[in-house]
Amino acid sequence: MSFKHKDILSIAALSPEDVALILEAAEPFKEVSGREIKKVPALRGKTVVNLFFEPSTRTRTSFELAAKRLSADVINVSPSSSSVVKGETLLDTIRNVESMQTDVLVLRHSSAGAATTLARHVRSSVINAGDGWHEHPTQALLDLFTIQEKKGGIRGLQVAIVGDVAHSRVARSNIRALTKMGAHVRVAGPPTMIPPFLERLGVRVFHHLDEALSGVDVIITLRLQLERQGRSFFPSIREYSRLYGLTAERLQRAAKDALVMHPGPVNRGIEISHDVADSRSAVILDQVSNGVAVRMGLMYLLSQLH
């Protein structure tokens, strides 16, 4: 079995075998990050460009560390989205960057489909590091890696994704990845934050958190974007937190040893209570460290194609 993709644009475009292969490839790189000298020569002489048109610390740092630990040359470019829209097109920006003989372009953009469109026009491998509300495939892969590590597998698990699914690329990628790998996915949130026809993606939709949490093995809480209150998606942070916040009491409804996950950054006391965030169930920091290993694995697989 080999990896045949030039780009990683979405989980939707990957087969279950592809996902399994990426998770497997990540495994040895986890060990590398634990060494005193955290470096392997796999990408020596390759150039990785992080193009982040949206602010990000966590994801950008994770990609940067992953590439550096693989011995690639890494640069970070953070053009402002507005200047791109007004003058130079995204495509021109990318073509300019690519003219400097890059191998991997890691792209984050506020527009859904930005990575998909771009990949058609460049030779370099494109990794989607988040495009609008569409997908954030490496986040889902690192979530799967973490679940597999803690639970020994993914197939048959009950997973609840809680919060603002409509505006979440993390939710879309995770729904696709988890269902692809045989987990049973439930989503929970207010009807204003559940996009239409979501059940058609193979999930069960709940509007009451207690019901959704009953017996689940994994809970993925989504970050609440606080500015959505002003746009009538929910009445107040207070009410959102009361109805959809994950508390220690609610966690009791989940299966024993259930995992609590969050893509970060966490709004403590809103989508997840302080005690839950710091509890033994929470694997939020494991997600972050696994993120580096998964991204190393992924870039390694892509580099094998060049």
* Short-list 118, 131, 106, CA closest to 10: 131
Of the residues 61, 71, 78, 117, which one makes contact with other proteins according to CB under 8 A: 117
Of residues 12, 21, 75, 237, which one binds other proteins by CB under 8 A? 12
**What residues are labeled active site?**
58-59, 86, 108, 136
Q: Considering only 21-29, 84-92, 137-145, 260-268, which stretch makes contact with other proteins by CB under 8 A?
A: 84-92
Residue 214 token pair: 């009953």
* Residue whose CB is less far from other proteins, 54 or 64: 54
**Count, residues near other proteins per rule CB under 8 A:** 25
201 contacts other proteins (rule: CB under 8 A): yes
Residues 6+ apart with CB under 8 A from 203: 161, 175, 179, 185, 186, 187
**90-109 positions binding other proteins, by CB under 8 A:** 90-91, 109
Beta strands in 78-154 (DSSP E): 104-109, 125-131
197 binds other proteins (CB under 8 A): yes
Residue 200 or 256: the one with the smaller Cβ distance to other proteins is 200
Q: Is 133 in the site for other proteins (CB under 8 A)?
A: yes
Point out which span in 20-28, 114-122, 146-154, 294-302 binds other proteins (CB under 8 A). 114-122
* Distance in Å, CB of 131 to other proteins, minimum: 7
Q: How far apart are CA 144 and CA 265, in angstroms?
A: 19
User: How many other C-beta atoms can be found within 10 angstroms of the C-beta atom of residue 98?
Assistant: 18
For every residue of 50-90, DSSP letters joined together read EEESS--SHHHHHHHHHHHHTT-EEEEE---HHHHHHSS-H
Residues forming a β-bridge with 186? 160, 204
For other proteins, which residue of 36, 196, 256, 285 counts as binding (CB under 8 A)?
196
> Should residue 13 be labelled a site residue for other proteins when binding is judged by CB under 8 A?
no
Among 18, 51, 132, 154, binds other proteins (CB under 8 A): 132
Residue number, 10 or 281, with CB nearest to other proteins = 10
Per-residue interface string for the shown chain with other proteins, residues 268-297, x marking contact by CB under 8 A? ------------------------------
List residues binding other proteins (CB under 8 A): 12, 85, 89-91, 109, 111-114, 116-117, 131-135, 169, 172, 195-198, 200-201
